[in-house]
Structure formats: structure tokens, C-alpha cells
Amino acid sequence: MTYWPWWLGGVGLALAAVLHFVLTRRLLAVSGRFSTLVDRARHGEAPDDPELSHDDLLAALRAATAEQFGASASTPEPPAEPAPEPLPTAAPNDAGTSLVFFGGVALGACASAWLAGALHPEVGIGSPLFASLVGGTGRQAVVLTLGGVLVGFGTRMAGGCTSGHGLVGVSRLQKGSLLATLAFFGAGVLASLLIARFV
């Protein structure tokens, strides 16, 4: 199998992140999309009021604020110029788009493996070192599943994964993303060094 140049991966990831924002007006967040799908499956659609337009929402917000804090708190500051549209940072909430996104990820991975002549479905990661550390395919499946659960737990706890923090957050110089990326890349490098040293 011939690997593509390492720098091409970086360019491809950057293009994917930019293209995702251009097409969806949302920042790329793979774990956010996945958790959104899971939340929708568990709890159904968020009960947004389809009859509530933006202007209706503003009027209702002012009324609710006046009721909660008094009339003086509900007066908006007139902007000197139209305020720019805030950059969305929340997890995408469009389940249909998320399904298309994950379908594209799977198809892209299969296409990449096919082009490299390595499209051979198997249990494991095809690494002799991993097999020697873990054992047969059954044990590899269990370890990979547990690893996936731990990754999911960590991404929910950290509020993002390698795409949301590592690609989008770091490029926007977000402190939390820099710290998260430092943590998971540091842990990966440390684990690799330990394995190379003792195995």
C-alpha cells in the first residue's frame, strides 16, 4: 500500500473544514454532529415553535425580560450599525445534514482505501504491533470498542473532538481548544513513546 504525502492530508482537512462552513454556515464538529443525532434519537426533535419568527422572538424576549427583571432591563441598546451575524459555535442541529455528513465520511474513507488498493474489510486496524499487544480479532474488537467508548466520553467531557478542537478551535486560537489539543496529542505522543520504549 502506498500512502499519500502527509502534507496532502493537512490540506485536505483544511479544505474540508472550510467547505463545511461555506456549505452549512456551521463550524466543523464531528462529535457534536454525532451527539446531536444520538440526542434526536433519544429525545426527538427540540420543541422549537415554528410559528415564532425572529421578530416575534425579540418581542417575546423583551416582554419576558421586563417581567423577570423590570422594564428598565428590557430596553435594547440601539446598535450604531447593523450588528454582524454572530459566528455559530454550537453543535449543528440539522439531523438530515448530519446523516449526509457521516455518509460522506464513510464513503470518502472507502474511496480512499479503494484508491490505495487496501479496501479489505476486517476487524482490527491491520497493525502487527497492535495484534501482538492485544491478541486475536475478538480481543481487538473488544479493545477497539472500549477505546471508542472512552473517546466518546472524553469528547463529551471536553466539549469537542479532534475536528472541533484540533482543526477549528486551534485555527481560531481558542484557549480551551489549544489546551484540549495539547492534552490529546500529548497523550498520544506519550503513549507512542512508552510503547516504543517498552514493547
Binding site for other proteins (CB under 8 A): 35, 38-40, 42-49, 51-52, 54, 56-65, 68-69, 73-77, 79, 83, 86, 88-90, 93
If the CB atoms of residues 54 and 120 are measured against other proteins, the closer one turns out to be 54
CA distance 92 to 89: 8
If the CB atoms of residues 19 and 61 are measured against other proteins, the closer one turns out to be 61
If the CB atoms of residues 96 and 121 are measured against other proteins, the closer one turns out to be 96
CB of 74 to other proteins, least distance (A): 6
CB of 57 to other proteins, least distance (A): 6
CB of 179 to other proteins, least distance (A): 21
If the CB atoms of residues 120 and 175 are measured against other proteins, the closer one turns out to be 175
State the SS3 of the chain.
Answer: CCCCCHHHHHHHHHHHHHHHHHHHCCCCCHHHHHHHHHHHHHHCCCCCCCCCCHHHHHHHHHHHHHHHHCHHHHCCCCCCCCCCCCCCCCCCCCHHHHHHHHHHHHHHHHHHHHHCCCCCCCCCCCCHHHHHHHCCHHHHHHHHHHHHHHHHHHHHHHCCCHHHHHHHHHHCCCHHHHHHHHHHHHHHHHHHHHHHHHC
CB of 90 to other proteins, least distance (A): 7
- For the record, the C-alpha cell of 85 comes out as 451575524
- For the record, the C-alpha cell of 178 comes out as 489549544
The DSSP symbol for 94 reads -
If the CB atoms of residues 75 and 171 are measured against other proteins, the closer one turns out to be 75
If the CB atoms of residues 92 and 140 are measured against other proteins, the closer one turns out to be 92
CB of 174 to other proteins, least distance (A): 16
CA-nearest of 152, 184, 185, 170 to 13 is: 170
